[in-house]
Structure 1
């Protein structure tokens, strides 16, 4: 039979703890719960922000890391530019002089080029869409020199490119570069673009694909967007400079075909 002392001891051991020890234990439990909730909220907020940034980059404005010197001096290696993906979404089309980012699949690179492991491609694509990695091997940035119907010729007696019979004063060319060392005389098919880099001696562009399927022409449907702004470095933040090189170019017609 239990003694009175044993009953009292059992009652004390089964009773809820009180005093400073109990308050300390409750405080630790509450702190852990608050910390766990804080981490969950931070993770959820981070996930929402990441999804928003990716959607914004996919449909509105995409950062783009310049990987080469083919567009110098306009764009330099390491520049991060902002590509306006809405520029051609509502009936507008690329114009002469626009600097655009495009998918060169089928025009600058063969179909199937650059295919990698799907997971690796997804991760790289996400990083590239935020301007944190170099773009895909199929993405290019060049200047539109000819649009559908234009006759583009290199070169006149003063070594200038002509569009529809009008010579271009290309103020954006890299210092010391010729307009082109490769002669050509082409008419741009409707729905396509003739693309050239500003650093002509270091740019592989439409000129280099004349003898290939597509003739170096880039379908308008492959244009990703127009480069409108600099996002980095800080000293270059602002709008991309315009050019008057294409002012006064006559519309294409039978005389230029």
Structure 2
């Protein structure tokens, strides 16, 4: 009787190595799927872009994913989320144009910004209004204090940024400690990684790397696939076993 039952299980797919492997696949899938979500929630914070000051990089109303970081991890070119009581009580998004020790000035040839005496090529800036609008109308030259950041919006003609606070302590800059996160990707309505400007790559400190978002997404997708495939194994194996059984009966 026991041997007959074992043979029947092997034929209809409900026993043996296949069932064991499918169970392992489902277990691993759940771990990857849930682990990826938990990991992402610990590392990333979603934000809604409140204004158009960072156009064209992000649009007002866009949802972005920002990696929780300390101010010491910030590099030139990063789009950061920060809170500074002098600027306002709500979190804001701006781009880091200069760090402590840099001298940033406006306006150079064609209305552009200079960094440490050299024209800064900024492909991320909104140039829909021409070169002059790309820098705005405020002339300045600031030596950024150590431990501080000079922040500007990508839509220079309509951004209340470090230029609007030039008369305040620190010459419009904010301390690194004000930064709470760095934008890594757009999540809605478009989905894409936010690239780091290569113009800053050769400067001291270089540019920041991307966070673990891609790895987290891969873990979630792989986990979901394992759960679906592992869960589908049993029913598919049973259908296959019944098909073979009917074929054997017809052959008799």
TM-score bucket of the superposed structures, by smaller chain:
0.5 to 0.7
Which of 37, 57, 60 in structure 2 is aligned with 1:74? 57
Describe the SS at the equivalent of 2:95: strand
Which of 50, 75, 79 in structure 2 is aligned with 1:99? 79
Describe the SS at the equivalent of 2:111: coil
8 A Cα contact 1:62 1:83, kept in partner: yes
Task: Find the counterpart in structure 2 of residue 152 from structure 1.
Answer: 104
Deviation at 1:249, TM superposition (A): 4.2
Describe the SS at the equivalent of 2:164: helix
8 A Cα contact 1:152 1:186, kept in partner: yes
Kindly provide the CA deviation profile for residues 57-99 of structure 1, in whole angstroms up to 9, marking residues without a partner as x. Answer: 5x5210000111000000101110001004x48xx52111100
Task: Extract unaligned runs of 5+ from structure 1.
Answer: 1-48, 110-136, 252-257
What number of residue pairs does the alignment pair up?
Answer: 166
Higher RCO (Cα < 8 Å, 6 or more apart)? 2
Cα distance between partner residues in 2 of 1:159 and 1:215: 21
Q: TM-score of the superposition, structure 1-length normalised? A: 0.59
Q: Larger radius of gyration, structure 1 or 2? A: 1
Deviation at 1:231, TM superposition (A): 1.1
Map 1:27-46 → 2, pairs under 5 A: none
Which of 159, 170, 179 in structure 2 is aligned with 1:203? 159
Map 1:56-75 → 2, pairs under 5 A: 57=41, 59-75=42-58
Q: TM-score of the superposition, structure 2-length normalised? A: 0.60
8 A Cα contact 2:150 2:162, kept in partner: yes
8 A Cα contact 1:166 1:250, kept in partner: no
Task: Extract unaligned runs of 5+ from structure 2.
Answer: 1-33, 206-252
Cα distance between partner residues in 1 of 2:63 and 2:112: 30
Give 1 or 2: higher helix fraction. 2
RMSD value, Cα: 2.3
